Amino acid sequence: MNGVKSNILSSFFKDINDCKIIPFGSGLIHRTFFLQHAEGDFILQNVNHHVFKKPKDLMENIQLVSNHLKQKNYPKSVLSIKKTLDGNILLQTSENEYWRIFDFISDTQDFSKPESEKQVYQTGKSFGEFLTYLKDLPIEKIKPSIPDFHNTRMRLENFEIAIQKNEFDRVKISTQEIEQIRTWHFLMEDYEALNCPIRIVHADPKISNLLFDKNERVKAVIDWDTIMPGSILHDYGDLVRTMACEEDEESIDFEKVKISPSYLNILEKGFLESTESWLTKIEKDNLLLGAKVIIYEQAIRFLTDFLEGDKYYNTVYTEQNFNRAKNQIQLLDSTLKLS
């Protein structure tokens, strides 16, 4: 069934005769399916354990966050894990694959770029609300599912190693982009000098990780795999990266890839409405630096993956990661011109 073996389904359901499975979503890491069953609708995922080396840790994080939010009466939908028939939150198969199931959150839409000011404002506000609810979850209970995930310095080191190795002979065509990235080194230093507080963050709040209702309001923040100790600036930055640009990260219409000042203002307004009372001055004063650093990091990551032969991100054509890197470079260039 769409490449999903029956032993996987029979680990979760007593009766698997009426299962319908179709590929789903736009994630760049896992394989995701929509699963219909007499018991209800679900999301079935094959967890990428090359990226998430300890899949059990991330499932424990998700369960913890889900219970916490439910207990606090968080007003939006949350991820609910469907356990295997023998009570596990994750299935490990004899072929060393990891599978999991969540309840499907119905009546939603998702986007790869923003559609209106109302949607942008609602996103800032709702995502700020999500972080506010995570604030009183004891941070030591959350395990970093990918160590050094937003360690830009380490990302740059890996980038330089990929250039040195040049395994796929792609350095030559990337010369201009490589040089551009090197000139923006100062962004990482500016960020490091801040010493931002460490809090529980989402670490991947791009637009497609938010589900909207018919009225352009956020119904759920999804993709909790990267919830970990980190910096609010990175989370706000990822919102700006995908919510304050009228083109999406796959666009090769590079001329049009730029920050929209009106979307940026309205996103910040919504975000601060939910977070202003508890963010520190350092955080509030440096939100835009968070955006610059995260767009920078994303450009580095896409270009590194291109140089390494597209091992990390799912791609459907050869130069996709190169184009994604060019898109982010363009976006950063326009962000730097704002101030």
223 binds Mg ion (CB under 5 A): yes
Q: Tokens 């923040």 correspond to what residue? A: 221
29 binds ligand GN1 (CB under 6 A): yes
Helix (H) / strand (E) containing 92? strand 91-92
Start-to-end CA distance of the chain, whole Å, equals 53
Binds ligand GN1 by CB under 6 A, chosen from 158, 209, 323, 328:
209
Binds ligand GN1 by CB under 6 A, chosen from 129, 204, 247, 305:
204
Cβ-Cβ contacts under 8 Å for 13 (sequence gap 6 or more) = 19, 37, 39, 85
| CB < 8 Å & 24+ apart, contacts of 262-267 | 262/117, 263/114, 263/117, 263/120, 264/240, 264/338, 266/117, 266/120, 266/121, 266/124, 267/120, 267/121, 267/123, 267/124, 267/239, 267/240, 267/243
310 binds Mg ion (CB under 5 A): no
Q: How far is the CB of 223 from Mg ion (least distance, A)?
A: 4
Residue (61 or 226) nearer to ligand GN1, CB: 226
Q: How far is the CB of 134 from ligand GN1 (least distance, A)?
A: 18
298 binds ligand GN1 (CB under 6 A): yes
**With CB cut-offs between 5 and 8 Å by kind, which of ligand GN1, Mg ion, none does residue 249 bind?**
ligand GN1
DSSP tag of 245:
B
177 binds ligand GN1 (CB under 6 A): no
Size of the site for ligand GN1 (CB under 6 A): 11
**Phi and psi torsions of 229, nearest 5°:** -65, 130
204 binds Mg ion (CB under 5 A): yes
Residue (68 or 206) nearer to ligand GN1, CB: 206
User: Taking CA 224 as the corner, what is the angle to CA 14 and CA 274, rounded to the nearest 5 degrees?
Assistant: 135
The SS3 assignment for 264 reads helix
Binds ligand GN1 by CB under 6 A, chosen from 11, 226, 275, 304:
226
**Phi and psi torsions of 237, nearest 5°:** -60, -40
Q: Which stretch binds ligand GN1 (CB under 6 A): 22-30, 129-137, 170-178, 182-190?
A: 22-30
234 binds ligand GN1 (CB under 6 A): no
Residue (180 or 226) nearer to ligand GN1, CB: 226
Q: How far apart are CA 189 and CA 156, in angstroms?
A: 12
Residues near Mg ion, by CB under 5 A = 204, 223
The residue ranges that bind ligand GN1 (CB under 6 A) are: 27-29, 51, 204, 206, 209, 223, 226, 249, 298
